[in-house]
Structure 1
């Protein structure tokens, strides 16, 4: 009996990144997220079926994760640990279904990204993610437990949100349906909750690969069902699939950034994770729209300005206060362990 807390204690420490490294990982994951948006959006456009594109992307990712888990004893042990934590009521069962948030995100990519452009899609997504990150952190859904709405955190989120609203309004076009702007906002809110749940599963299992596995099982299952229903209503699946190999990289890219975010969130919390990934998303979307823009889309002067101000928001949230700097850094390393032991 007395050995169980020690085992759980050691798993809580496994794989936790320093704050600086976690911030870098989150930014890189943001770049990968917009890269996936471009790939999946193009695949959905060429297929003429965003539902099938999303299901295909997530299913390819699931196959990759299953192969990785098959060759990683630590990931298989992590799966057992995660089920034990649920059985002992230390980990909520709903965290195993975090992949539904990823499914909404990938589906929104296939349906809306190619139409509205990567930059506009990204800022709409960021709006939902930022607001949801505040709520998720305050509710204590992430592995770091409750993170209170300090003036600095609210100010940083407010700056990001204001930039997002301004950027969306400056890009509105009469020929873009409103639901295509609303869908990525909903996806952003879902992804903030997904990141929190993935972090909790990784914390309980001692393996971000384990949380990635559960994420892809849930997301792929949901998207395959949705795509099948759509195919029945629409008269079947696409008759021809494109030959370009890079159009099928959405799944592998998703594996990388979901693993990275599940690792980083244990240190950063959901709001800071979201704001760091925002910086990567905005910077990445500018590069993508400059180097490989979709048809009819180009970068204007508002997007680089938005990227600069979102980076400012990241700094406002991440820099510790003068009195609480040492405590803040210690909490970043210890809170995930403490909250999981109390649960």
Structure 2
């Protein structure tokens, strides 16, 4: 059976960068929608609802989507993976909710740096535990160094905010929210990779992510409505509703490029796109009250460098962590 043509890096990497820029754009859209609705929870629910509608259409139209959908019940019945993996979308719901809660306070650039830092830190744990379809991966010196650098990068990027007058505790809390979402995303990606492998299509894994995430947000929103009522009516601005489709683009293009570029180059391209896109948004379309200073730019650059250090599979003979075994 002929192998699919591989995209050259000169074509695939720009696509990965463009897809990565969808995440900070989604963050800005969801943040604006939250302000317009005066209800961050409702904004996250709308984002997931629109994304779910898109994935239902895609799954119904594409043959691979229909084939993958048919494998859901057999996969669960045969316990091909832990059943809790179908709730990976709840993590995505938390990620989108942190967007709507903190974007207006932090700005897109600092939000992205915090989430990427969280992904890198827990990526070490996920790889070591072997949760993803690729199995366990060695905990190398360079990956640990990269994780430590991400902590320094986040501290540097948010330092202008924390050194301002008053509200330091509020800023710390605001940074911790996207950091926690990024940390959870590493587990979500591993869970999605495993379920997508057994479904035979990442389309189905993405669809179930939106199903579980939407259900979780809807339940919490109904409780909120019962306690404090609804916010403002839905706004007329059309681009406020693009958050869900932007998330679909990020996941779909990433899944397509992994087959041709490989996981390493795709991941670097997507993360690079997030960092570049967030800075461009804060520079050219800044949210009210957000500013970009040298520390934010340099902290973002250090985060990107730390990701390269942590991700590249550098083999350093004679340099191993205590307790690790030399492979034959």
Match of 2:272 among 279, 289, 296: 279
Q: Contact 1:22–1:268 at 8 Å: present in 2 too?
A: no
In the superposition, the TM-score normalised over structure 2's length comes to 0.84
Instruction: Please identify, of 61-70 and 81-90, the stretch whose mean Cα deviation from structure 2 is larger.
Output: 81-90
CA separation in 1, counterparts of 2:52 and 2:177?
A: 24
CA gap 1:148/1:16 in 2 versus in 1, 3 angstroms: farther
Match of 2:104 among 114, 122, 126: 114
1:82 deviates by 4.0
Aligned to 1:216: 210
Aligned to 1:161: 151
The reply on whether 1:296 has 2:286 as its aligned counterpart is: no
Q: Contact 1:265–1:273 at 8 Å: present in 2 too?
A: yes
Q: Cα deviations across residues 86-124 of structure 1 (Å, max 9, x unaligned)? A: 333322212211101110011111111122211222222
1:175-194 alignment, distance < 5 Å: 175=167, 177=170, 178-194=172-188
Q: Contact 1:51–1:227 at 8 Å: present in 2 too?
A: yes
Instruction: Please identify, of 114-123 and 51-60, the stretch whose mean Cα deviation from structure 2 is larger.
Output: 114-123
Q: Cα deviations across residues 19-51 of structure 1 (Å, max 9, x unaligned)? A: 968866654443211110010001101211100
CA separation in 2, counterparts of 1:192 and 1:75?
A: 24
Q: Contact 2:38–2:232 at 8 Å: present in 1 too?
A: no
Q: Contact 1:199–1:265 at 8 Å: present in 2 too?
A: no
Q: Contact 2:149–2:302 at 8 Å: present in 1 too?
A: yes
The reply on whether 1:201 has 2:195 as its aligned counterpart is: yes
Q: Contact 1:276–1:314 at 8 Å: present in 2 too?
A: no
CA separation in 1, counterparts of 2:24 and 2:52?
A: 20
The reply on whether 1:129 has 2:129 as its aligned counterpart is: no
Residue aligned with 1:294, SS: coil
1:274 deviates by 6.2
Q: Contact 1:31–1:280 at 8 Å: present in 2 too?
A: yes
Q: Contact 2:89–2:211 at 8 Å: present in 1 too?
A: yes
In the superposition, the TM-score normalised over structure 1's length comes to 0.81
**What is the alpha-carbon root mean square deviation over aligned residues?**
2.9
CA gap 1:42/1:33 in 2 versus in 1, 3 angstroms: same
The reply on whether 1:48 has 2:38 as its aligned counterpart is: yes
Aligned to 2:28: 38
Unaligned runs of 5+ in 1: 1-9, 325-343
Q: Contact 1:61–1:255 at 8 Å: present in 2 too?
A: yes
